[in-house]
Copies of this chain bind each other. A is one copy, B any other.
Amino acid sequence: MTFIDESIQILKRESYKITGPRRAVLEVLAEAEIPLSAYDIEEHIPENIPINVVTIYRVLEVFEKVGIIHKIHTKEGYVRCDFEKQKGCHSFAVCSECGRSKEFVQKECKLETQLPQKLVYKSLSHISEISGLCKQCA
């Protein structure tokens, strides 16, 4: 199952329409090697079928909501979800130089359980990103 096919399946299940702009953004993200911003994506869309950047912002909002993309905070961009790692903690290793990133699952994520009780935050979600140099940039 490809990223695009699985994403379309999820969008349909969540009652979102499969539109040209959404397909186009999926195709860009499917090929991307690094996190992309809305404007980055706009630049990667084929010139013959341009898509307004406002639409891209709205598409990304939906994609993130249904869980087919992740925001990489240390690079201010989005990457496709690695669906094989869907069950875990959605942690990322991000190259501080070029931005290449890989999702990985922590066998035993103690983060939420180690949250001191006195902070009284009722945990809802968490992000973990490790920055470093990838093979190419090292």
Contacts and interface: CB of A to CB of B under 8 A. Distances in A.
A70 B5 CA distance: 39
A114 interface: yes
A14 interface: no
A121 B133 CA distance: 5
Contacts of A7: none
A1 interface: no
Given A104-B119, A116-B104, A111 B128 contact: yes
A103 to B, nearest CB: 10
A37 to B, nearest CB: 14
Contacts of A128: 111, 126-128
Interface in A90-106: 91, 93-96, 102, 104, 106
